[in-house]
Amino acid sequence: MQPVELGSPLLQLDQPVLADATLMYEFCQDPVFERFLTVPWPYNSRDAETFISLVIPSGWKSNDEYTWALRAPQTGEFLGIIGLRLPSGSVGFWLGAPHRGHGYVPEALRLVADWAFENGIVSAIHWECLVGNAASARVAQKAGFTFAGEAPSIAPYRDGSHPQSWQGWLHAPDDRSIQPGWPTEALSR
């Protein structure tokens, strides 16, 4: 599939470019990434360049994973990443620390879900995060996902293990309102 651009007044989703590699590298130095994400650690500038120039284009070409850069629509500034893996329908995302708290990732999830459902890419989207990643849980809850409990992760962690993860689902017919049943410890932080 050819890459698709998505957008709203709040956010633009398009392809990361090599000019984004410096900010990607800087954002990925966040200790939160070491603890909760599957990105290589330590993350170096070559990891960002390889992800942008090889991994992302390969995912679109093979229809294995569709990845977008999150950008501020007024400036085009690179804010973070969101991806949809197939055939699992799993979504993954991260946002640079300076851009958190503005509703960008719930909006990115809405844009990706709308596109994926309207085009028959998937009928349900799976979300997971390592247990304790309250920020990711809040994003999924705000996007209307239903909490499905705790289980070993579908996506392997960087050491190949499948640690316990919080999991949730968003189905095409869901109304996207905030659903009950989320771990109270995640949402109270």
The string of pLDDT tens digits covering residues 83-133 is 999 999 999 999 999 999 999 999 999 999 999 999 999 999 999 999 989
Could you count the other beta carbons within 10 Å of the beta carbon of residue 173?
A: 7
Q: What is the dihedral of CA 85, 88, 89, 94, to 10 degrees?
A: -50
Residue 1 lies in a domain: no
Residue 163 lies in a domain: yes
| pLDDT for the residue 187 | 60
Q: Which domain covers residue 94, as residue numbers?
A: 6-187
| pLDDT for the residue 126 | 97
The string of pLDDT tens digits covering residues 33-62 is 777 777 767 878 998 999 999 999 999 999
Give the pTM.
0.93
The tokens for 114 are 């709308």
Could you count the other beta carbons within 10 Å of the beta carbon of residue 43?
A: 20
| pLDDT for the residue 186 | 53
Amino acid at site 52? I
Residue 99 lies in a domain: yes
**CATH number for position 27:** 3.40.630.30
Cα(135)–Cα(189) distance, rounded to whole angstroms?
Answer: 8
Cα(5)–Cα(164) distance, rounded to whole angstroms?
Answer: 33
The string of pLDDT tens digits covering residues 63-83 is 999 999 999 999 999 999 999
| pLDDT for the residue 184 | 63
Residue 87 lies in a domain: yes
Mean pLDDT within 18-45: 84
| pLDDT for the residue 34 | 74
How many domains does the chain divide into?
1
